[in-house]
Amino acid sequence: MKRDPEHKKNLSRRDFVKTTGAGVGTAVLAGLGLKEAQAQSRLPHWDKEADVIVVGAGASGLPAAIEAAEHGAKVILIEANFDVGGHAILSGGNVALGGGTSRQKKYNVEDSPDMVFRDLTDWSVVEPNGFPDYRYNDKEIIRAFADNSAPTYEWLVAHGVIFVEKAPDGAGGTADGNSAPRENHAAPMAWPQMQTGKPVDPAIAATDSSGVGFIRPLEVAARKAGVEILLKHKMSSLVRGEPSAGRILGIAATHESETLHIRARNGVILATGGSSSNVNFRRIFDTRLTEEYNGVAGEPYSFQDASGELAGLAVGASLWGAYNDAGEFGLRLAKAGRIGCQYGYRNLEWEPGSPIFHLARARGLLVRNYQNVILVNQVGLRFYDETQGSYTSNNYNSLRPYTQGSYLNAADIKYHPANFLDAALAGTGDAVNGGGPIWAIFDGNAAKREEWTVEPPYVDIAEGYFFSANSIAALAAAIVNKYQRRPMPGAALENTVARYNSFVDDGKDADFGKPAPKYKIDTPPFYAAWAMPVVHDTRAGLRINAKCQVIDFSGNVIPGLYCAGESAGGFSLHGLARCSVQGRIAGKNAAIEAS
């Protein structure tokens, strides 16, 4: 076969040795030097190649791929799932981009990049439980975000994202700054929802907010820009010239049990979405989050498996911003909103029409009033006031009055511990990490008040996430779940329920201060529903700089490696804004900073 000049240009040294003969090859190797020759001998045969490889087709990966392509790069975007979108396609579509967007100006909202920067690095903002929202953010990363925030809003609009026509607000915001409203809401339009398999009601298509309205337009834009999207391709490793030196040359990926190697002439962008689903990895930051915290937001469609972080660590990358991942503020860990199912995130209901409902298995029971249930740990004991919410976070006008950087922002906060997780872990009587399952206990009258259907597809009986019995003791005996390390003592649960019922008579919860307990648990059948807190987003990951280049443990850039979004550390902001901004930064730099 005749070989063209481009092929000769891209010929590896290994191939050169094979095609020029042993004698010439030996001379070439001698000229290279032993170390370089050994490195070249380890390089794989490249099955595909591009200028830029993006790993992960979510809120970071799609903007990165589009930006790189529009800066002249040939781009391959790989995605482990059968479709694009990651966590983002299941999100509420809330995008906290400010700094002086056209939308802010239209509604006379005063904002600027400097105001965004000062907000998101304000040491003085703390939550009632004492945890600071912004104190441990990396200022270099925040400066880059602040400067690119408003341009990214305009970029998203130009690439087809339709935002609900209203003034920016604080709805859905988590740690997005106190000084100005910055939340914009992506309209779902006519796109089918992953969780339902169908579009929303046309009457609300332009006024509702959904991640599908963020992701699908960007998918269209990526394909239009010439991005090659490879679904069901999972990165298994990064390829570097040497294990801890030299450029990142490409990736290894698996597809249908086969391994292929894809060369990246310019760089690889990790946009793999974080680590919340990887039990051992997330416990680096928070030892408490053991395997029973198994209803991670976004699952069972999107798993944050730490694949990007692990691949980066394997080639010398550093982790960064660990505090933010353990900080008890925002949506890092959320109280269960749906019970009786594995996946209990309040804002995500899986319906039978979803293409993955067979994995979700149940819709869950949405708890409208926690006066209707009590929560007990695996040994049948209550542990806190069930009506208390999840961790809070700073948002527009959360603090009034507010002066950036003033010690009074913290001094004027009324301290109130939010200890639902710690309380759940306490009192189980063993030395094993993790507190075991949490069960919502209620009776037939509570089910009627909440208008619950206590059977499939609303609850997951088959996999052990929902139980019923005609007595409290029998209910305790019925609870069999792989995470329930020991049988629940029937007498303990009977005593717990009886004591709680006495609080209803007294109108006062003497144990945990639940406001005026309203309803006794005394009418069979009795129910136990899985009610574990939901691990949400990831706020620590690989160390990056303002260009989204990955940094090693010596503080040096790893050439050819970039990271964006939830796999990157140093940023406490929740959601789509940081992902899209960093995706654009990484895509542009990977395209223009050729080797």
Task: State the DSSP code for 158.
Answer: H
Peptide bond into 457 cis (omega under 30): yes
Domains and CATH numbers, the chain: 1-43 (no CATH), 336-387+439-530 (3.90.700.10)
Which tokens is 352 given?
A: 């039978």
pTM of the model: 0.92
Local structure of 319: helix, strand or coil: strand
Burial letters for 85-121: b for 16+ Cβ neighbours within 10 Å, e otherwise?
bbbbbbbbbbbbbbbbbebbeeeebebbbebbbbbbb
H or E element in which residue 496 lies: helix 490-506
- Write the single-letter amino acid at 60: S
Which tokens is 126 given?
A: 């703390």
C-alpha–C-alpha distance, residues 416 and 425, integer Å: 19
pLDDT tens, residue order, the chain (595 aa): 333 433 433 434 334 333 333 333 333 333 334 444 444 456 899 999 999 999 999 999 999 999 999 999 999 999 999 999 999 999 999 999 999 999 999 999 999 999 999 999 999 999 999 999 999 999 999 999 999 999 999 999 999 999 999 999 999 989 999 999 999 999 999 999 999 999 999 999 999 999 999 999 999 999 999 999 999 999 999 999 887 789 999 999 999 999 999 999 999 999 999 999 999 999 999 988 999 999 999 999 999 999 999 999 999 999 999 999 999 999 888 888 899 999 999 889 999 999 999 999 999 999 999 999 999 999 999 998 999 888 899 999 999 999 999 999 998 888 888 666 677 766 566 777 888 999 999 999 999 999 999 999 999 999 999 999 999 999 999 999 999 989 999 999 999 999 999 999 999 999 999 999 999 999 999 999 999 999 998 999 999 999 999 999 999 999 999 999 999 999 999 889 999 999 999 999 999 985 4
Local structure of 82: helix, strand or coil: coil
